[in-house]
Structure 1
Amino acid sequence: MIKTTGILAAGAAATMLMASGATATTIVIDDFTDSQRVANLPTTDFPSASIVSGGMFGGTRYMEVLNQDGVTSGTSLNGENGALTFNNDSGTSGVGYIVYDGTSDRDDATNTEIGPGVNTSGLNENLVIGSEAQTFFSFDLSNFNPGSGGSTALFSAFVWDNDGNRAEFAEIIGAGPISPNLFLSEFVGEDIDWTRVGALAFSIDSREGTSPLGTYGGDNFDGQVGVISVSAIPLPASVLMLLGGLGSFFGISAVSARRQRKA
């Protein structure tokens, strides 16, 4: 008598690996179907900061904008109809913040810094789908257009784990092609536990400034991003073929074992 339990289990494992490689898991951070608009204008019907609840990561989204001092026009962030739009009126630059921390209240609704008031204990989310080197944030940039005039902006992404550790990523955008993928391994700072993410935030700043990456900023910078999600690199086709071959082998072996038992 030949035992088939191990063979069937291995075949099932191969099948599961094939399935996971062929259909990589995706975590949607925000699809911007829950409408929200904030604007920093001399006269406006919109607040400069607000919070909405819905189907986004952590169940709440906080947005805030600030424009440069001494201008008569303004800066806005608008999330609706599947897109987030950052807009600066003519002759204006500004900064926009968006925070996902699972809280409907923030202490720094008028603070220019993104850190104070972020709730790092409200979430306990695992964002590691593959390894950190395989898992990435994906930004739909199909309608991204920074406009004309040569203006650039500093894009930043921030993450906190439940212990309050923080890491971030920064990139100057607008001067050339932008990758839609940001890998977890590209964040720098404190040692983050990506299996216990407590808060997540993004910012875009078109005010003139200097960073280790260089100078950035300029008037009239606009941009739009669609769905933000977390995905993983699927297994290479060669690995899938190998797993497929193993699955076939295990299937044949199981049939042979059944025939021998009948004999």
Structure 2
Amino acid sequence: MLKNVYAPLSGGILQERVMEIISNNLANTNTTAFKEDEISFQEQEANPWPSYAFPHPPAPFKINMQELWPLKGNEMNYVTLSEIKTAHTQGPVRKTSNSTDIAIQGDGFFEVMTPFGERLTRDGGFSISNDGILITKNGAVVQGENGAISGLGGKELSILPTGEIYVGKKFIDKLKIVSFEDTKLLERLGENLWIHNGAPENLKAPSGDIAQGYLEGSNVNPMRNLTNLIIAHRSYEALQKTVKAHDDTMQNANKISEI
């Protein structure tokens, strides 16, 4: 009887995970260039044999295998986590008229240098440091094709759709934009930063244009996420009641056996 609890229990645990992910999506509805996560499940089919060495039972030991079935492992189907996938779709672009706000319209990531090495971001809410260097909100140095983008103090800053940066009429550098064939190889690090865990062969030529004076918004769909949150919460409640029902049944069975 105890085994019957595990199937709804596995579903309840995953519904908790769903609610965590959706809550994080909703909390970042207004975060610049945030990309929402999606979760998917898969059925873990009954597979009772892997925990037993072969041959089992030993060859000289003669027994009907039917009598060993209660000793087997996973006799029931369960639900398990398949993957947590990030939706790298374009978020809405809004105008800020700030010369250091930059949005990528299309494919690609800005490359920035942090104390822990090179990282990637779509958040183009940049600023200019006291040393005339283009930096992120957290102080990471925005990278150009020749390294750190410096010499930005003083005159008017202009950035072309190709990513070329000018101060007045002087060419400074070109923004380093990187793009990937498979975005599943990108890992979220927090603070709107990503790291690429794939091989260099996963890189491809970026196809996005640069828009100065604009920022990309979050791609979270609040209505869809709220609906999914309600569904997950109700599913969790139903599974919780199922586990409670099995528990009550086992308690009653134990009371009867004691009589």
Q: How high is the TM-score relative to the length of structure 2?
A: 0.34
Higher gyration radius (CA): 2
Q: How high is the TM-score relative to the length of structure 1?
A: 0.34
Structure with more helix by fraction: 2
